[in-house]
Amino acid sequence: MRLLKFFGYSIVAIVCGLMLVLSGAYLYLSPGLPSVEALRSIQLQIPLRVYSSDEKLIAEFGEMRRTPIRFADIPPNFISALLSAEDDNFANHYGVDPSSLVRAATQLVKSGHIQSGGSTITMQVAKNFFLTSERSFSRKATEILLALQIERQLTKDEILELYVNKIYLGNRAYGIEAASQVYYGKSIRDASLAQMAMIAGLPKAPSRFNPLANPARSKERRDWILGRMYKLGKIDQAAYESAVAEPLNASYHVPTPEVNAPYIAEMARAEMVGRYGSEAYTEGFRVTTTVPSNLQEIANTSVHSGLVTYDQRHGYRGPESRLPGKTLSAWTTELGKQRPISGLEPAIVTQVKKDGVQVLTRTGEAHVAWDSMKWARPFLNTNSMGPMPKQPSDVAQVGDLIRVQRQPDDSLKFSQVPLAQGALVSLDPQNGAIRALVGGFAFEQSNYNRATQAKRQPGSSFKPFIYSAALDNGYTAASLVNDAPIVFVDEYLDKVWRPKNDTNTFLGPIRIREALYKSRNLVSIRLLQAMGVGKTIDYMTRFGFAKSDLPPNLSLALGTATLTPMEIATGWSTFANGGYKIAPYLIDKIESRNGDTLFTANPPRVPGDVVNGVAATDGLAAPSNGGITIEPSPGAAPATNGTTPT
């Protein structure tokens, strides 16, 4: 009896001691616990996405790939797989599972170190949203208290929704929807039972059970989860056997842009960072640009084919490098270091034949026909080339690292990366919307945006602005100007300037309309001389040009200003729209993660009743498409602030 009493009192004492310890821990830790109510309004990090005007994805920016999913959209099979793997008693406990904690404590006593934390899904939500990954008893106690509070204030469905959207699942994927897209290229709703089980096995150790890095371990984990589901009655034997037999078909999928517009994407990204700072990458903004996908693709093709054609007219500069005598393994390694540039794939010549060359690409061996190589005359200098090649061996040798372009029929065409660069910008002259923009041959080669950053001399494309100034200063299209030689002498510098026409011919007295379309240099110079350089430059600023970019001398008439393609296109828009200065813009709409519209562009627009460049009214013009009214001033006075005609 004494022994029984001793054990009874001991048990009571232990229980009381535990209660005192837990009460003390609660009193000590509870004042510092965060508010669980914050979970209802938690904002998960979602990347910035940029779209074309016809809703096609251009780019995605952000460290975390995440697409939140509502609980109602989570497949029941995935919930069963997740609970079977992580917390099969989730529906019955109140945030803490005593049996799991006892099991974790037993493992600690036996092994001497922490093997598992005995955490429930609710405890993991508490840790993921409020705590660190530190392994300590104080952190575990805080986690338990938070889990109990979460269970009191949130439903089981809400807890699961928070968990599946927050967890990290490898390869920058956060949440189950992003993980399904990364590993299988489809929504979790379309994944098979085996694929769901694989994703459900990732939270325990995303790197260890990653199907890309450790496929064997991943399959072992997947099959164990499927076995648990079968044992717990979540699936039948047929479904279990079918899922276990399914091969591990995971592969790396990244969000594939539907429109190739990297320079547009970078411009949109920079503007969003300017507006919202670092939150631009995490708040799930959806940006719709003014660029239609079809026009952008046409612009891409035009710049690409134009530069390649121009480059090939100047000859072949030889292979990028030579790797003779190397093994197939060495060639494969070298190809892995190279990257495609605007569709031009790297390839290594493995065999030279009479009808072309055999090459090794990243996807395997292929043939390049001799007909696609005949253009490759040796490059000597900018103005000369060597003789026409007569056979493939005149162009390429075994081990040459070359570039090939894949054709629609999957054949390969011999090519090279152009040295020349180019840019293209297309604007809507009615409101300034950017309709297409290409900043160079390839963004991966150079992210320098030549359409907006490269200041170059526009040449004869600048002459219409000189003639416009002349028309506003008393000249008419029928005015005669002498197209004759002229000489300028600088007595101080002892320099003589004898400007010429490009054909070195002179037409004598010529009407302005003819001089413009024939681009006569001497007529432009005489017009500028007659009007005065300073007065003409003041006039040019009405088109949006900065004075600092316009040289204060007569060479301005020949287009020696330093302007970007965007500035030239902006100036030319005034000719296209009847004389109204516009301001280019790219972002048409910004939406929040919830679909709320945060910004809608509303630029000044050319009046809708301007026909063929002439306003039908002499008073206030009616707004076009709900835009801001632009008031034409009487006569032909040019615009100075973007709201009156030039």
- The yes-or-no verdict on residue 450 having pLDDT over 90 is yes
Catalytic residue among 53, 187, 192, 460: 460
Tokens 């835009």 found at = 627
Mean pLDDT of the chain: 86
Per-residue pLDDT at 130 exceeds 90 = no
| Residue 30 annotated among the catalytic residues of the structure | no
Q: Give the closest residue to 427 by CA, choosing from 559, 265, 585.
A: 585
Tell me the CB-side half-sphere exposure of residue 126, using CA atoms within 13 A: 26
Supply the pTM of this predicted model. 0.78
Residues 544-586 pLDDT 10s: 999 999 999 999 999 999 999 999 999 999 999 999 999 999 9
C-alpha distance from residue 15 to each of 27, 28, 101 (Å): 18, 20, 16
> pLDDT at position 43, please?
74
State which of 29-33, 93-97, 425-429, 621-625 shows the largest mean pLDDT. Answer: 425-429
- Are 291 and 401 in contact by the 8 Å Cβ rule? The answer is no
DSSP three-state, residue 401: strand
Residue 378: the pLDDT is: 96
Grade residue 644 by pLDDT with cuts at 50, 70 and 90: very low
Rounded to 5 degrees, φ, ψ at 289 are: -90, 175
State the Cα–Cα distance between residues 602 and 591, nearest whole angstrom: 15
pLDDT tens track for 234-281: 999 999 999 999 998 899 887 778 999 999 999 999 999 999 999 999
Of 466, 471, 465, the C-alpha closest to 529 is 466
Four-CA torsion 514, 516, 519, 522, nearest 10 degrees: 90
pLDDT in tens, 186-197: 999 999 999 999
Burial (CB count <10 Å: 0-12, 13-18, 19+), residue 379: middle
Per-residue pLDDT at 478: 96
What is the rounded CA–CA span in Å between residue 290 and residue 576?
Answer: 19
Confidence of residue 106 (pLDDT cuts 50, 70, 90): low
Residue 456 has pLDDT above 90, yes or no: yes
Instruction: Compute CA distances 537 → 454, 487, 529, 551, whole Å.
Output: 21, 22, 12, 9
Cα 217 from Cα 220, distance rounded (Å): 5
Known catalytic residue: 241?
Answer: no
Query: How far apart are the two ends of the chain, measured CA to CA in Å?
Result: 111
**117 vs 488, residue with greater confidence:** 488
41 vs 23: CA distance, rounded Å: 30
Banded pLDDT at 14 (limits 50, 70, 90): low
Q: What is the per-residue pLDDT for 623?
A: 35
pLDDT value of position 503: 84
Give how far the C-alpha of residue 512 lies from the chain's centroid of Cα atoms, to the nearest Å.
47
Where do the domains of the chain lie, and which CATH numbers do they carry? 66-245 (1.10.3810.10), 317-415 (2.40.50.140), 459-563 (3.40.710.10)
To 10 degrees, the CA torsion angle through 129, 130, 136, 137? Answer: -110
Q: How far, in Å, CA of 332 to CA of 61, rounded? A: 31
C-alpha dihedral sign at 146, 152, 158, 159: positive
pLDDT at 422 over 80: yes
Q: Which residues pair with 403 in a beta bridge?
A: 346, 415
Burial class (CB in 10 A: 0-12, 13-18, 19+), 562: middle
- pLDDT the model gives residue 144: 80
**Distance of alpha carbon 13 from alpha carbon 609, whole angstroms:** 93
Per-residue confidence (pLDDT) for residue 629, from 0 to 100 = 35
Residue 611: pLDDT above 80?
Answer: no
Instruction: List CB contacts of 165: < 8 A, sequence separation 6 or more.
Output: 44, 66, 68, 69, 174, 175, 176, 177
Residues of the chain with pLDDT > 70, as a percent, come to: 83
The residue annotated as part of the active site, out of 86, 177, 283, 591, is 86
Residue bearing the bigger pLDDT, 314 or 623: 314
Query: Residue 15's pLDDT is what?
Result: 55
